[in-house]
Amino acid sequence: MLIREALQLECNVRIEARARGKLVAVREGHNVFVNQGRQWLRDHMAAALYPPALFEDANLTGDNGQAGNADNFSPLGKTYKPRFIGLGVGGALQSITPPGPGGFTEVATINRLEYPVLSTTGQYLKEVLPQPNTADMDFFPTDYSVRYRGIFEYNDVSFAGQVDGFGTAVPISEAALFTSRAGRDLDPAVGVNGTLGCIAYHIFEPLTKTPEFVFEVAWELRS
C-alpha cells in the first residue's frame, strides 16, 4: 500500500517601510511557493555526492564532532540556498499608473517577477542578511522556521537611473525570493534569467519606495 503525505511548507512575507527608524507602512500576507520552488525543495533534500571512505582522516572532525570518520561529514548538496530578494512594479494589485495593473497573480506556475526594478545601479536583486545561528529570533523565529531578511536602504531602488524612468518614486507591488542560482545583475524577467532560482512569489497593494524610506522584506519559510 502506498501512503502519501504531503510535506507542508508555509510562506509568509512582511514588507516594512521605515523613515528615520520609525515604522510608517506595512504590507504582509501569505504567498505562493511556486512549482520551481517545490522542485528546489526536492533537490535540497537530495545529495549529489557522499564523502567516500578515502576521505577519512584522523586530523579532520566530522559534523557531529567525531574525528576521522567520513560518515559524519555532510554530503555535497545538490542545490542552492535562498540568497536574494527581488522587487518589481508588476502584479494584478498594482493600482498606480504608470505602470498600471499587471497580469501576474499568485499561482504556482509563476517563475519570475513580472516587471522587476533595479535594487542598485546595475543590480536587480538584493542579497539577504546571513542567518548567524539558530538562537537568533530575527532569523529563526520558531524551531521550525527560517526568515530571510533583505534591507533596501534609502538610496536602493529610489535613484535617477531606475529602469524605464521611474526615478526616485517607485510603486513596488511584487516581490520574489531567489536562490543563489540567480545572478543579481541579470534582469529576472528576460529569457532564461527569469527562470533562474525563483522559488516564491508575492503581490501586494503598491508601496512607493522613495529616498525617505528604508524597506525591509522578511520572507519566512515554515514547515
Q: DSSP letters along 155-182, please?
A: TSS-STT-GGG-TT-EEEEEEEEEETTS
Q: Does residue 106 form part of some domain? A: yes
Give pLDDT tens digits for 60-117: 666 666 665 666 667 777 889 999 999 999 999 999 999 999 999 999 999 999 999 9
Cβ–Cβ < 8 Å for 83, 178: yes
Q: Does residue 113 form part of some domain? A: yes
Give pLDDT tens digits for 170-192: 999 999 999 999 999 989 998 77
Helical segments of the chain, H only: 35-44
Q: Does residue 26 form part of some domain? A: yes
Q: Domain residues for 187?
A: 10-47+80-222
**How far from each other are the two terminal CA atoms of the chain, in whole angstroms?**
26
169: Cα within 13 Å, side-chain hemisphere: 4
Averaged pLDDT score across all residues of the chain: 89
- For the chain, the domain total comes to 1
> Taking 90 as the threshold, does the pLDDT of residue 5 lie above it?
no
Q: Does residue 170 form part of some domain? A: yes
